[in-house]
Amino acid sequence: MRLDEITISKAIIETFSKDLVGSLDLEVAIAGAGPAGLTAGFYLAQGGVKTTIFERNLRVGGGMPGGGIMFNKIVVQEPAREILEEMKIKHQEYQKGYYTASSLEATSALTYRTIRAGVKIFNLIGVEDVMVKEGRVNGFVINWGAVKLAGLHVDPIGIRFKMGMDATGHQCEVIRKLEEKGRVRLATSSGKIVGEGPMWAEKGEEAILDNTREVFPGLYVAGMAANAVFGGPRMGPIFGGMLLSGKKAAQLIIKELKG
């Protein structure tokens, strides 16, 4: 078989373009392919919801691949163990209620299972703004991650959805932009982003599920972004709450879409 460079180029351009055009009008769009975003995407796809994830960085997984201080292990507590099992992530009990897993295997397995479930993931494309119509978020404004890094003035494009999700982690980038530009009141105690508290693993893991919810019509928040928006503590390299938050967000959205 003789290989042709132009055929290779056309194959990449045409198939990528087809995927991107197919993701311009969605049921659900997620900003951030960290553990919460990936888990949410998996369960949304399992529920038959057309879902796409946009991740500004080259790699997916958020803080998961780095484990704790670059020791590539993560800890997951008992309530989230069933998600590890469903994703077929090897884990072992460290002591009662604490399970360890390879951060790289966990990231790879979450990514693989989410894509195989039917979710499209676009890395190197970030969400830089939102579309708001008649008091409801109904789309994301997306651009290449490299454009932001280079500080280039390049206009973005818009994508439309029925429901969106901010799973961008500590920075809660999407909701921060909505607050900054939309002059809106969020579903927090102050109507604004409260900001995350200092580390307290137990309270942070408890709070993250309470804080996983709709923060503004059409926009949900999950993962560390949820605690940042509603004022919960950070929790460090324990990831059960992230997985459970993603699953809960998916369940809430499915209920709203199908209800």
Quote the pLDDT of residue 214. Answer: 99
How many structural domains are present in the chain?
Answer: 1
Write the CB contacts of 14 (distance below 8 Å, at least 6 apart in sequence): none
Range of the domain at 170: 5-258
Quote the pLDDT of residue 182. Answer: 74
Distance CA 219, CA 51 (A): 14
Flag residues of the chain having pLDDT under 50. Answer: none
Exposure b/e, 49-59, CB count within 10 A at least 16 = b: bbbbbbbbeee
Distance CA 172, CA 67 (A): 20
Backbone region of residue 14 per phi and psi (left: phi > 0; alpha: psi in -120 to 50; beta: other values): alpha
Quote the pLDDT of residue 10. Answer: 99
Backbone region of residue 25 per phi and psi (left: phi > 0; alpha: psi in -120 to 50; beta: other values): beta
Q: Is 63 annotated as a binding residue?
A: yes
CATH number at residue 14: 3.50.50.60
DSSP character for 88? T
Q: Is 64 annotated as a binding residue?
A: no
Quote the pLDDT of residue 149. Answer: 95
DSSP character for 77? E
Q: Is 56 annotated as a binding residue?
A: yes
Quote the pLDDT of residue 65. Answer: 98
What predicted TM-score, i.e. pTM, was given to this entire model? 0.97
Q: Is 234 annotated as a binding residue?
A: yes
Q: Is 91 annotated as a binding residue?
A: no
Q: Is 153 annotated as a binding residue?
A: yes
Distance CA 202, CA 166 (A): 23
Q: Is 116 annotated as a binding residue?
A: no
Q: Is 127 annotated as a binding residue?
A: yes
